[in-house]
Structures are given as C-alpha cells and as structure tokens.
Chains A and B, each alone.
Chain A
C-alpha cells in the first residue's frame, strides 16, 4: 500500500510519479452535468462506486443532486466502505450467496438500507432465513439478463416466480428489477439509443409481467454510463447506474458533455533510442491503455507497456525529454483506480485535496 499524500499547494510538476491525479474542476463539472440531466426526470442517478471507490466522491454527487440519494456497489466489501463513509442507501447489483456474506450484509442492514440482486430461488430463501434471524430486512431486486449472458433471469416466468417467493417471505422486501448492459462497441449515438432501448426493454418486460401478477414494482434500476442518457428517456426506468462518467476513460470519448477527470502522471526516465521515450507508469498502474493515451500529444503513441514502464514512440523527433512529465488517460477506468491507494486532487496546477481510496481491493 502506498502512503503518498503530498501537502496541499504542491505543484503538479513537483509530484513523484507515477501518481493518480483527479482534476477537481472536471469531476465537479461531471457531477453538475448529472445533477442538471436528472433534475426534472423521473429517473435518477444511482452512482456506481466501482468507478470511484471513495465515499467522499459518492457524497459529492449526492450533494450536487440528480441522484436517488444512494449508490450501487459491486460487492459487499465495497458497500461496507460506503456505509462507513456515511452513504447508507446501497444497492448491490450483484448476488450475495455465501452465508457468511449474507450475515455480513445483514449486519450492514442494521445501519443502512441494503438492497441486493437475485436470480435464484434458494438464494432468496437463504437471504430470508438469515435476515429474519437477524431482525432486519434486505431489499431484493431481480436481476434480468438483457444482453451480457451473465447472471440474471432468462425469462419473464423466472422473474415472476422469484418475485412471488420474495413477497411471501419474511426478512426480504421485493423492490423491483435490475439489469446491466455492456454496449461498448456501439459508439454512434443512434446505435447506443437503439440497442440501449432494446436491451433495457427486456428488463421492463419482466417488470410488466410481475405487475400483471398484482405485485408492485418500485424500482427499475438499469443502464450504466453507456446508456446514461438513453435510460433516462425510457418510461418506467427509475434509476440509472452510471459509474464511469464521474472520472472518465478513453472508451467513452463519445460523452462530450463530460470531462476527463482522472489521469495517471508519469515521468520520462530514459530516451534510449531516437523517437523513443520510456516512462515510469506501467501496466500494473494503468491496467492497459489505448495507443492514443498521452494527453495533449497526438504525435506520441503508446507502443508497449511493461509491468512498470511504458514505451512511447513519436512520429518525428521525440518531444519529451528525460524528466518531463506526461499524463495518461486510462482506458479501463474502474480497473485502473483499483490499482491505487490515493487520489491526488488537483486544481489550478496544484494539489488541493488528497483522498484515500478505501474501496481499493474490495472485491469480497
């Protein structure tokens, strides 16, 4: 674990590298865009904390507005971090299966509004048994597989069966349905809207089937940053689980309203051959990069990443010299921040805030 917490006021160029920077103006801007986008919509944002892993950042979005007042967390341990940080409306859009984990979730439910996704009858029964014994209620949403071929019910009938079971059992509160889509290859807006609507409709079909049985469906939690704009236009969707929008990544350069907020800063440590610069930010710190990832340098290509070094090539003469700093824009944003222990918040070229990333490594 690193302990790099530079004193506020330190100039960016004086920081040791590699380090993870957050442009505070940019992240505040992104939170405002969400607040504005969802101010008058029925659908609200439930920010996914896998992309921030910090209660401080989660609270910033909640305070800015446009949200349900709570968050999604990928895993139970990430939920713990958020609850300890004062965010107590939690949806885990994932399954919690093992009895130890259910017990841990019930403990959290004593001080937080815990909701989890289900796609299996036995799991619902286990949740009920354990939560009832603890004297708490766990909210359950049925996960619907709309496209990914991952977890989730595969039919309206399956969804209805689980909803009926959840309604009949103590310890669990049936809340609604949830789905996650991975639409990264649909870059064009028209495509994203079309495919986004089609996939989310599959989730809404399950909702409708459940309602037809006389069971109220309070929550339809869907979407992600790919459909951050699409989901809000679909009647019936009550919340969008956007995550990457907050800090940004190169896979999302279609998101023009939002600004790139997280960057890894590196330093050139060698210029061993003509047109080549080696930097000190490698694969372990970045988790992969696209070729055009050096900010402000369309003339420089990322040729290769070693564990702790990056090989940069320039079209002509290498403009970077040993000692020069450069900024790398991440490709897999939530994969990248999971490699780091601190965010260094920058404003006007200097350190303003340093925040720990307490959710790092919380995959349990």
Chain B
C-alpha cells in the first residue's frame, strides 16, 4: 500500500510527497458540471462509471450533481461490493458473473442494493435464475450486445431477443434491458458520429425487436465520455455510462476539449544528468503506462521521452529556459485515468494550490 509522508490539510501542493495522485477540485467540479448539465435538461440519464476515479467521494458528488439515473456503474463485482458499502443503492455491474461463488456474492449484494448485471449466454442466465430464487432476491439482468468491441456480448437482433426471453422466463430474474460497450472511440467530427451511430443503432434496432415481442426495455445503456452527446441524443437511449470525464486523461485530451485535466501525478526531479535531460521519480508504477505516454503540459518545451517502472525521462528543448532544478515538481497527466487510479490507494484533493482532503480508494485492486 502507498505510504506517503503525512502532510496536514492546508499544506501547499508542492510540499506533498512524490509521486502522488493530485486532483484539482475546481477542475473536477467543472468537468462534472459540464457533463451533467448536458443530461439535466434531457430525459436520458448519465450513469457515472466509477472506474474513472475509484472514489466514493467523487461518485457521491456525481449523483448530487443531478442529470444521473441515480446510480453508478462498476466494471467488477469487487468494485460493486465496495461502493454498495458506501451508500450507493443502484449499481449496474457491466460485466458477466459466472462463477458460483461470485453469483453467491452478487445475490448477497442484491439483498441490500438494486443490482443490475450483464449476461450474454443462456447458461449463465439459467445459473443466475436458479441462484436468485434460492437466495430470495431479484436480479436485474441486461443483455450484453456486441456491436464493435468483440469481447463479451451476443450479436444484435434475434440472438439478443432470445436471451431477453430467457431472462424474462426466469422467476428470480427481471429482464432490465440492453447494453453495448462499443469501446472508447477516439475520433472526432464525422468519424465519431458515424462510428458511434453505427454501434448504437444496432442496439436501438434490437430494442424495437424486443419491444415488438412484448418485453419492456427499461435500460438501454450505450456510449461513454467519448460520445455522450451523440449517444444522449439518440431516441431510445435511456442512459450513458461515462467515467473518464470527471478527471480526464492525456489520451482523451485532444478529443474532448470541453473537459479539463483535473488529475495529475506530481513528481520530483531527481536527476539532471545532462543538459536537456530530466529524470523524475514518477514512472509507470505511479502514472501507468499500459496504454501510452503521459503529457507534461506544465513543462514548456518538454517531451516525455519515456517512462521506466520508477522513473520518468523528459527531453527538454535546450532553447527554452524551463527553469527546472533538482527537487522541483513536475506534473504528469496520465495517459489513461482508469489505468492510473488502479495504481493508487490515495487521492490528494487540491483546492487553490493547497491540500484540501485525502480520499482513499478502497476499490483499487478489486479485480475479483
């Protein structure tokens, strides 16, 4: 577990230990307002995805900001358990639960909170149905439709309808609707629109089929931070699950200029071995590196040469006076915010340049 040197509330950000995950509260509030204001005025609801921050404090802020469906989305059962214990009573687990011990955990959760889970096979639906009856609970089950990502999911149309019927046919289950995870579409303009609509339309067409067969589609979950304004304006979509917008990251930055980078990893310059070369104490284990390099917008003329596990290497333009010395702070914008928060136990919340709160991230590492 991380063990930063303790600093009291009110400490200047630069005096905090490094590397640390620092979150600017005004940027976070701004992003929440930008996203939620889109949804407040519309019948479609936002469902905040907790993977984008891992924090109960932020998830509560998101629900309080309005424009939501009143619940959250998680990627794993373990995350759902953590958030169920911290005041969230509507949780959509956008993943499959197939192992018997996990189904048992899911049913226990369903005793205390309104649980929705995804399914993509009749066998799984049958197992869920049996377990929920035995546990005396009702599980809401959404059909997971594959439209682009080619991971889990049934094909749209008839296969989805068949599964919907199977769910409705189980006494302990309630057919709650349809979803797709189209994956993060990193594109803009026409390409983003056409790629998004191509995926979402398949789910909408499936909706029509399912409704014609006499089933209600309460939930139609599509989209994310990458295309919420497109998904949110398509008739028949009931919710958009977005996570990254709250804190944002480097990969999203060029595509979603309406959001600011509220989360960064603060790092220390630990070596300046040659002119134009700066080494910092934040590498892949603090910033993340599975998906690409971070950004360093506060270092003019600086470029991330690469990250090792525990070091960041920065190339500096020799013609610019960057004014960096040993011991100075450098802030990295992580390439993937989800990947980054998965590495941390604490979030240091900064208000006007000072430590305002330390939020724990107990859902970290809950892959199970």
Asked whether B362 is an interface residue with its Cβ less than 8 Å from the other chain, the reply is yes
For A298-322 the 0/1 string (1 means CB < 8 A from B) is 0000001011110100000000001
For B257-275 the 0/1 string (1 means CB < 8 A from A) is 0000000000011111110
Asked whether A188 is an interface residue with its Cβ less than 8 Å from the other chain, the reply is no
Chain B residues, Cβ within 8 Å of A50: 309-310
Of residues 115 to 129 in B, which have CB atoms within 8 Å of A's CB atoms? 120-121, 123-124
Query: Contact at A363–B273, with CB atoms within 8 Å?
Result: no
Chain B residues, Cβ within 8 Å of A151: 270-271, 273, 279, 311
Range, interface on chain A: 35 or more
Query: Contact at A339–B365, with CB atoms within 8 Å?
Result: yes
Query: Contact at B285–A363, with CB atoms within 8 Å?
Result: yes
Query: Contact at B151–A304, with CB atoms within 8 Å?
Result: yes
Query: Contact at A94–B310, with CB atoms within 8 Å?
Result: yes
Asked whether B177 is an interface residue with its Cβ less than 8 Å from the other chain, the reply is no
CA distance A281 to B75 in the complex (A): 12
Q: Assuming the A-B contacts A16-B368, A95-B270, A304-B151, are A270 and B96 also in contact, with contact meaning beta carbons closer than 8 angstroms in the complex?
A: yes
Asked whether B324 is an interface residue with its Cβ less than 8 Å from the other chain, the reply is no
Asked whether A219 is an interface residue with its Cβ less than 8 Å from the other chain, the reply is no
Closest chain B residue to A325, Cβ basis = B99
Closest chain A residue to B310, Cβ basis = A74
Chain B residues, Cβ within 8 Å of A5: none
Query: Contact at A77–B308, with CB atoms within 8 Å?
Result: no
The interface stretch among A96-104, A189-197, A252-260, A345-353 is: A96-104
The interface stretch among B164-172, B226-234, B337-345 is: B337-345
Q: Assuming the A-B contacts A75-B310, A151-B279, A341-B365, are A288 and B98 also in contact, with contact meaning beta carbons closer than 8 angstroms in the complex?
A: no
Asked whether B302 is an interface residue with its Cβ less than 8 Å from the other chain, the reply is no
CA distance A97 to B325 in the complex (A): 11
Asked whether A215 is an interface residue with its Cβ less than 8 Å from the other chain, the reply is no
Of residues 259 to 301 in A, which have CB atoms within 8 Å of B's CB atoms? 267, 269-273, 276, 278, 280-285, 287-288
- A: which residues have CB within 8 A of B? 1-2, 4, 16-19, 50, 74-75, 77, 80-81, 94-101, 104, 119-120, 122-123, 145, 148-154, 182, 267, 269-273, 276, 278, 280-285, 287-288, 304, 306-309, 311, 322-323, 334-335, 338-341, 358, 360-364
Show 29 A/B contacts (Cβ-Cβ < 8 Å), sorted by A: A1-B1, A1-B365, A2-B367, A16-B101, A77-B2, A77-B4, A94-B310, A97-B269, A119-B273, A120-B272, A150-B311, A154-B273, A269-B95, A270-B96, A270-B124, A278-B96, A278-B151, A284-B339, A307-B339, A308-B76, A308-B367, A322-B98, A335-B309, A339-B342, A339-B367, A341-B1, A361-B1, A361-B343, A363-B285
- B: which residues have CB within 8 A of A? 1-5, 15, 17-20, 51, 75-76, 78, 95-96, 98-99, 101-102, 120-121, 123-124, 146, 149-154, 268-274, 277, 279, 281-286, 289-290, 308-311, 313, 326-327, 338-339, 342-345, 362, 364-368
Not counting A4-B368, A75-B310, a sample of 12 additional A-B residue pairs whose C-beta atoms are within 8 angstroms of each other reads A50-B309, A97-B281, A98-B268, A122-B326, A149-B313, A150-B311, A182-B308, A270-B96, A284-B367, A308-B76, A339-B343, A361-B345
